[in-house]
Structure 1
Amino acid sequence: MSMDAPAKINFFKGHPSNRLLPNNEIIKATTELLTPQERPYDTQTENRHPLTYGSDEGALWVRNKICKFNNIIFNSNSNPDYLNLTSGASYGILNLLLQTTLAHTNYTRQAFIISPTYFLINDCFIDAGFGNGKLTAIDELPQQNSIDFETLQKKLTYFESLQNCPNDKDCVVNKERILGKKIYKYVMYCVPTFANPSGMTFSQETKVKLIELARKYDMLIICDDVYDILHYDSEINIPKRLVHLDRETNLDPKSYGNTISNATFSKIIAPGLRFGYQESINENLVRQLSKGGANISGGTPSQLNSMIVGTLLQNGDAINIINNLKSVYSNRAMTLSNAIKLYLPKDTIFDTMKGGYFTWVTLPNGYNAKQIEQMLKEKYQVIMANGSNFEVIGDTRDWGTRSVRLSISFLEEDDIEEGIKLWGKICQEYAVEHGLTL
């Protein structure tokens, strides 16, 4: 089912409601940026005019603003040389896979995807050559804020035992250029904080253990760090990203690291800007990413929009936008939590949201979430994202039988409560029809 299917109430959509889009702030920032006939950096190679081709890495002054912002939030030591600007997280992922993996030659032996997973990520991996059994699901362990390390270790041991894995990567190295390429044997995709779809957050112990495994087996961990800033409790420090932990414990200047933070401003300012960034432990990997064919041909892919966001960071409006989103989403999350407790079967499993967009709800044994979802859509025009949407292709877990993902980013509080109330009514009808305990 499409998240854009016509509906009275749509819990599938994972983007802000229109009233939350910062029209006035973006108009203000664009005016500040483009009104002057000249800016101090217009002729600087590392910055350039907002309306011309950008530098390969992206404007230095924008990277500086992002680092200053991140260093305050995460208490990290980000450096502009460690950043590569992108046109958002999705294009960032594909560029990462094209630049750092070789699935079609089997140099990169396998991709591991934390499951349940973001429902459109499979296509990025398939576009990069990870088809025909090249995707392995690794389950979340939500009660432990961790993942199934036992299965991951077994799979890594198995793939290491294979003898038909080539070491040749000449097919992706332009010998006319001095810069070589780092290609990884394995790659992992995860959303470490307020995950899509589950809302789970990795513990620091889990992050450290993942980094240790990645170093041992030459694996790149791609972290979709897109929701972590949307932490509802301002009194709690936002946990460090994997890339920060990787940097703190890797002192080899020649290393390319084993983590990459794939971040975006889509979730915290506006998705239509199509602007994000990638952060590594040092300049080595992001320099490789910025020197891909598309970048050296056209420059950074979001030159104008990157500078609009840079201006929002500079004039203070970005933090105001983010704080407003956190306040709105926190209230919506509380409404959702109260409604689930009030209207759904008593043994329904869910976690109270602490940040981000999503929560994962599992109905009690005997309830068929997929059938109930269809009944809800047909009778009340309420759409939900069934768990079957969040499988890893070729390594499924049957998430759709009892589970659904709910999003609070698009719906107002009244619609959230009404939608859950109607879902509860359908659950009651289903329970009566199938002789289940209410």
Structure 2
Amino acid sequence: MRPINLFKGYASYDLLPREGIIKATSEVLLPEVREYDYNEEDRHPLVYGADNGSAWVRKCISEFSNRVFKISVGSNAATRPEHLNLTSGASYGMMNILLQTTLPHTGYTRQAFIVTPTYFLVNKVFLDAGFTGKITAVEEKGDGLDLAFLEDKLKSFENLSDKKSSLKTEKSLEVINAQNGKKKIFRYVIYLVPTYSNPTGSIYSRGSRIQLLELARKYDILIISDDVYDLLRLDDTNQNTLVPSPPELRFPHLDRESISVGNAFGNTISNCTFSKIIAPGLRTGYQETANANLAKQLASGGANASGGTPCQLNSMIVATMIKNGAIEQVIHNFISALRERARVLARSIELYLPKGTEYSECKGGYFSWCTLPVGYNSVKIVEEASRNGVLLADGSHFEVSGDKRNWGEQSVRLSISYATATEIEKAVKIWGQICEKYKCCSSNES
């Protein structure tokens, strides 16, 4: 019997829209000729694409985004095709962003900040990009990040930068610009998941986002927000729409609303994917920036210049699902299933886990964060749970590389994306029984 998996971070197979993908693929490939086949901004779906991705695909995504976020096309916040660069998903997107906008090897980019607890697999992307020994964890606080801590750290890094090292790194940037044309490299970079965070499920308020944006402009920080779950809102039961509006605007929306004329690139990138709302096997995503300049820079790397957009065919399949309306029904189906699972999870935790357990019902996305009372060792409990057919992710998985906060002592991340509602209740009951055993052991030892 397969284990009940509350660790896995992708949708159960029954939610993946096989028939919708087949239909969209047929719409793209069955015609011998399409009207856009010889348009240099679009091209045939089976050849190398434009560097930033097909123009009609980016138009579809822009219109869909504005519709879901309820943003007027004439608004400064509105998403436009030129703001987008298509990618093969959020993981590739992260790598591409760091390669194209940071220079940690030379010292020009001084430090990376990563929210903690964090999406654990992002650590390796930063290490691959040259940030070993240059990563600081920033904890969530209230309805956002601990911005006072962040600014204190920024001030300390600014003070450490002496004139000699500044001249050296400025020179290295001049070489980069001479080789590649004008390119924006940021002094600092910060990574976060501001809506339905992985792993905590947190939602950062508009006010906290604006405060962080102000810090970014002051200290030349690039804000990278993984916006991969925000269309999966579970606490909005409005029956008039298949896809409820996300609780907050994305960082590039806010950046565009107040960007100064002299800020040619903005300070924000929304790193998006269709993996969480359609299917991860499509490997299709996009990056949204405050204006066209940074989007163009992201699309101008060597890999894109060589092979064009990395998702030419699949991006057209996704865009076709947007055009024919299939994506809205797919997201609605996801939300309906996830909403039931979230309610069962919250009820089961209340019924079966120890008194004093800290937990808030998942309001959107895939994940939520559960903290057991003092005295319960989550690492040991999770190990035993795995031997009893329940896979959980203890908090030690979600540390920032080189700056740990001991999240594994009491905390666990819970996923509702893969297990059914029935499986979730069974898993939490087993988990609770194991917790009782450890409680008994603790009492005997004392």
**Same fold (TM > 0.5):** yes
CA separation in 2, counterparts of 1:81 and 1:169?
29
Pairing 1:406–2:409 present:
no
Structure 2 gaps of 5+ residues are 72-77, 239-243
State the 1:234 CA deviation: 4.4
| Aligned partner letter, 1:22 | P
Pairing 1:416–2:424 present:
yes
Q: Is the 8 Å Cα contact of residues 107 and 168 (structure 1) preserved in structure 2?
A: no
Deviations 1:267-301 (A, max 9, x none): 00000000000001110101001011000110000
Q: Is the 8 Å Cα contact of residues 274 and 284 (structure 2) preserved in structure 1?
A: yes
Q: Which residue of 1 aligns with 2:121?
A: 120
SS at match of 1:167: helix
Q: Which residue of 2 aligns with 1:270?
A: 279
Structure 1 gaps of 5+ residues are 1-5
Aligned sequence identity (%)? 52
Q: Which residue of 1 aligns with 2:147?
A: 149
| Aligned partner letter, 2:138 | I
Quick one: structure 1 residues 176 and 365, their matched pair in 2 at CA, closer, same or farther if it must change by over 3 Å?
Answer: closer
The counterpart of 1:46, out of the listed 41, 47, 52, is 41
Q: Which residue of 2 aligns with 1:231?
A: 233
Q: Which residue of 2 aligns with 1:3?
A: none
Quick one: structure 1 residues 253 and 44, their matched pair in 2 at CA, closer, same or farther if it must change by over 3 Å?
Answer: farther
Deviations 1:29-50 (A, max 9, x none): 0001100010000000000000
State the 1:435 CA deviation: 1.6
Q: Which residue of 1 aligns with 2:390?
A: 382
State the 1:173 CA deviation: 2.5
State the 1:167 CA deviation: 1.7
Q: Which residue of 2 aligns with 1:139?
A: 139
Q: Is the 8 Å Cα contact of residues 254 and 284 (structure 1) preserved in structure 2?
A: no
Q: Which residue of 2 aligns with 1:80?
A: 81
SS at match of 2:171: coil
Q: Which residue of 2 aligns with 1:429?
A: 437
Quick one: structure 1 residues 145 and 280, their matched pair in 2 at CA, closer, same or farther if it must change by over 3 Å?
Answer: same
State the TM-score, normalizing by the size of structure 1. 0.95
Q: Which residue of 1 aligns with 2:241?
A: none
CA separation in 2, counterparts of 1:304 and 1:171?
37
Q: Which residue of 2 aligns with 1:395?
A: 403
State the 1:175 CA deviation: 3.5
Pairing 1:213–2:215 present:
yes
Q: Which residue of 1 aligns with 2:75?
A: none
Deviations 1:186-217 (A, max 9, x none): 00000000000000010111100000000000
After TM superposition, the structure 1 = structure 2 runs for residues 1-400 of structure 1, keeping only pairs within 5 Å, are 8-76=3-71, 77-132=78-133, 134-141=134-141, 144-162=142-160, 163=162, 164-165=165-166, 166-170=169-173, 173=176, 175=178, 177=180, 179-232=181-234, 233-235=236-238, 237-238=245-246, 239-252=248-261, 254-378=263-387, 380-400=388-408
Deviations 1:242-261 (A, max 9, x none): 11011101142652001100
State the 1:160 CA deviation: 0.4
CA separation in 2, counterparts of 1:121 and 1:191?
11
CA separation in 2, counterparts of 1:285 and 1:174?
14
State the TM-score, normalizing by the size of structure 2. 0.93
State the 1:176 CA deviation: 5.6
Q: Is the 8 Å Cα contact of residues 108 and 173 (structure 2) preserved in structure 1?
A: no
Number of aligned positions between the proteins:
426
| Aligned partner letter, 2:282 | L
Shifted more, 313-322 versus 235-244: the winner is 235-244
